[in-house]
Chain A
Amino acid sequence: MKTEGDAPRASSRFWRLLISIRLTVFLLLSLAATSIIGTLVPQNASPQDYVRAYGEFLYRLFYVLDVFDMYHSWWFQTLLVLLTANIVACSIDRLSSLWETVFVKTPGFRLSAFRKLKDRESFSVQGSADALEARYAAAAARRFTYTRTEKTGEGFCIFAEKGRWTRLGVYIVHFSVVFLLMGGLIGSIFGFDGFVNIPEGETVQAVRLRSGGGEQPLEFAIRCDDFQVSFYETGAPKEYRSSLVILEEGEEVLQKDIIVNDPLRYRGINIFQSSYGKIPGDLKATLEKGISLSFTSRASGMVYRETALVGKPVALPEGGGTFTVKELLPSYRFMGQQDLGETLVGSLASPDGGTTEVKLPIRFSRFDKMRKDARFVIAVDEVVEERYYTGLQVTSDPGVPLVYAGFVLMILGCIVTFFMSHQRLCIDVVGRGRKTMVTVSGAANKNRAGIQATVRQMSRRLNALDRG
């Protein structure tokens, strides 16, 4: 008996907690208070930064508590889930009884209750009550969505109401919050948030994910044809513009210039202008097309320019033999010390048969001047131009329609809840001999000033109707 009795009691106690406004207030204030933490502690920074800022101990403590990514931590998400459960439970609890009130066919109406109301206006007219009935009913019907006339002992009464459905306003707001949380959940499960840098002229087929650092392949390719940045005279940036092309299996299917605030959307994927940068030119590509070299004769001072390809000997002027480009080194340590960066290696064959290896660091064009007994000083002529790359934010979020629906519902729900009310009005007409007493009284579920104004207006209107 005991176990059978305890189970429903425990569950009903749990239900009572779940539908309590105490829990709502606790959750709202907890969310507000804990949200502050994430604005004081920078989120998702590098561990080194955190250790430097907070020291080893606090770092470990914060790490265990997920403070560094707190809005995605289990405890913050738990608060959000509890808030959702609280909203849903409250709505179920109150809506089930409210539903019958709102969708009732013939609204209940007790004359005695209206006769006790304080918000009332009265006036008297000459003549019998019956003569007024049709006109008064029409006047009430013009201002209210539902009216009903009932006979009373001494005359009649008209019951009128409007805005019964506005009692549901607060539930519209509550469901909008559920929509937002569901949309967020769907987005975090089925969507992704990635970024990619595309140098001008290049194409990508995948993006890097912001969290976790994995790769997200795309069903199409994105090519960046051009990137441009412009500035105001003040030096502030004016516009970032990327010319993008979408390719499907090598076919160009869409071309669009994107700027900040004007993204490209294609097959549920959104591509946003996010950042940009410069990359040094691609030397290897230049080398394949032919790299321009200059040969300065020490004897005559003449400068000769030649375009060289790898492995193809170039004949030097003034009978100076040949020069052959051999390879491009990504780095070169001069005398085993300083790294001079990308360096072209070539061999110089003099007419007498001897060969000398020549190193030409790209960034140090006068490096070859140090070579002893040389007839020519050789330099890589062409300083390869830097290129821009565009930084794109690439996202997919199937939860957005639900979130936007939540936004619309929230605004509408707030307007209904705050500024509309269920107004009920009674026009009580009582015949007193040759005179007739008319009393207008009203009640509303909120905004007492509003129903007072309605009562006054209706009373004035009926009174004028009678005189006119």
Chain B
Amino acid sequence: MNSSSILSIVTFVYGLSALLYIICLIFRKDAPGRAATWTAILGVAGNILGVGLRWVESYQLGYGHAPLSNLYESLVFFAWAIVTIYLFVERRYKNRVIGAFTMPLAFLAMAYASLSPNISDRIQPLIPALKSNWLIAHVITCFLGYAGFAIAFGISLMYVVRERPGGQGPVSSRFPEPATLDDLTHKMVQFGFLFLSIGIITGAVWANSAWGRYWGWDPKETWSLITWFVYATLLHARLMRGWRGRKIAYISILGFMAVLFTYFGVNLLPGLHSYGAQ
């Protein structure tokens, strides 16, 4: 059993957990909720095991590097970060409804990594540009930030659904209070913003040690800055202008679109040089 097959199984474990959270929300039953939490914990354990095994395998292949070096590995870490942070939120707020909106995101990330024909799960050797200790710090902080924003996105969606004109449906009335959702969005955005900032900074320091410039307006860099600007706007509007609720939820959703574009969309842009290719 290799790491790829373990991580494929984790994909389905996350999928099952997401389904259980949704069932728990719709049928207002406790049992599927508890099962959903335990399934998610099992998935996290499997995720850690898969990543650890992949690390060992990379040494066995003679490459020897942390499993954070390509799209597949980053998606696997992204999914792990989403579920882990979510489980902390669930424990803290004692509410499983949010799981119905965040667990599917982790499932989608894992499913994209495992099932997309365009993403190779082969362990590849590191090209010279990626051989740096900054790689680990940069990737981990960026994706913790992205995961924070992903959960904020899920919660903002809940806010928009709950507070939509035309009143609450039978399902959305079970969501947490709007004030709680708003506060949680803010907390998750703060968490994401801190880690996105550290991620950009570690990337800049790394770029300076590899290429001699800490900022080069590369499309990926620029889009991460655009994302940073969007969330900075959210924080200022909330703190200084007192924006709450729906407006904040919309900016949070917009911010997550910028995150997705930074992550995936940049590869579609015309670039004079491809990222990391030396």
Contact = CB atoms under 8 A, between A and B. Distances in A.
A72 to B, nearest CB: 9
A238 B213 contact: no
Contact of A274 (B190, B211, B236): B211
Interface in A231-252: 232, 234, 236-240
B154 interface: no
Given A28-B233, A42-B270, A43-B217, A400 B208 contact: yes
A408 to B, nearest CB: 9
Contact of B237 (A25, A272, A274, A418): A25
Given A43-B217, A393-B212, A32 B226 contact: yes
Interface in B115-141: 124-125, 127-129, 131-132
A261 B207 CA distance: 9
Given A24-B236, A272-B212, A240 B217 contact: no
Interface string A39-57: 1101111000000000000
Given A261-B210, A274-B211, A38 B125 contact: no
Contact of A43 (B127, B128, B258, B272): B272
Contact of B236 (A25, A42, A232, A419): A25
Interface string B207-244: 01111111101010011011001101100110011000
A411 interface: yes
A25 to B, nearest CB: 5
A414 B272 contact: no
A184 interface: yes
A179 to B, nearest CB: 12
Interface residues of A, number: 49
B212 A270 contact: yes
Contacts of A411: 194, 197-198, 201
B124 A234 contact: yes
A29 B278 contact: no
A444 interface: no
A423 to B, nearest CB: 18
Given A40-B269, A237-B128, A403 B222 contact: no
Given A42-B270, A411-B197, A260 B223 contact: no
Nearest to B271: A42
A193 B211 CA distance: 10
A43 B197 CA distance: 25
A256 to B, nearest CB: 15
Nearest to A31: B229
Given A21-B240, A238-B128, A263 B212 contact: yes
A418 B194 contact: yes
B198 A260 contact: no
A234 B125 contact: yes
A410 interface: yes
A234 B122 CA distance: 12
Contact of B230 (A32, A238, A260, A394): A32
B35 interface: no
Contacts of B193: 414, 418
B215 A260 contact: no
A38 B198 CA distance: 24
A182 interface: no
Contact of A35 (B225, B233, B270): B225
Nearest to B122: A234
B266 interface: yes
Interface string B186-204: 0000110110011001001
A74 to B, nearest CB: 16
Given A21-B240, A184-B215, A39 B128 contact: no
A410 B128 CA distance: 30
A39 B131 contact: no
Contacts of A238: 125, 128
Contacts of A40: 269-270
A272 B212 CA distance: 7
A131 interface: no
B211 A29 contact: no
Interface string A216-239: 000000000000000010101111
A171 B133 CA distance: 31
Interface in B67-115: none
A395 B222 contact: no
Contact of A21 (B63, B229, B236): B236
A62 interface: no
Contacts of B205: 404, 407
Interface string A246-277: 00000000000001110100000010111100
B219 to A, nearest CB: 4
Contact of B272 (A25, A42, A237): A42
A184 B215 CA distance: 9
A193 B214 contact: no
A261 B128 contact: yes
Contacts of A36: 222, 226
Contact of B214 (A45, A273, A403, A418): A403
Interface in A155-194: 184, 193
A400 B215 CA distance: 11
Contacts of A38: 217, 222
Nearest to B273: A42
Contacts of A117: none
A236 B208 contact: no
A395 B194 CA distance: 30
Contacts of A400: 208, 214
Interface string B261-278: 000001001111000001
B222 A407 contact: no
B129 A261 contact: yes
Contacts of B211: 272, 274, 393
Contact of A410 (B197, B208, B258): B197
A183 B132 CA distance: 25
B233 A39 contact: no
Nearest to A170: B239
A71 interface: yes
Contact of A415 (B194, B212, B232, B236): B194
Contact of A39 (B210, B222, B232, B278): B222
28 contacts: A24-B236, A24-B240, A28-B232, A29-B229, A29-B233, A31-B229, A32-B229, A32-B258, A36-B222, A42-B270, A43-B272, A45-B272, A184-B215, A236-B124, A236-B125, A236-B127, A238-B128, A239-B128, A259-B131, A260-B129, A261-B128, A270-B212, A272-B211, A393-B211, A397-B213, A403-B204, A418-B193, A418-B194
Given A237-B278, A260-B131, A414-B194, 16 more contacts: A25-B233, A32-B225, A32-B229, A38-B217, A40-B270, A44-B272, A240-B128, A259-B128, A260-B210, A261-B132, A274-B211, A393-B212, A403-B204, A407-B201, A414-B197, A418-B191
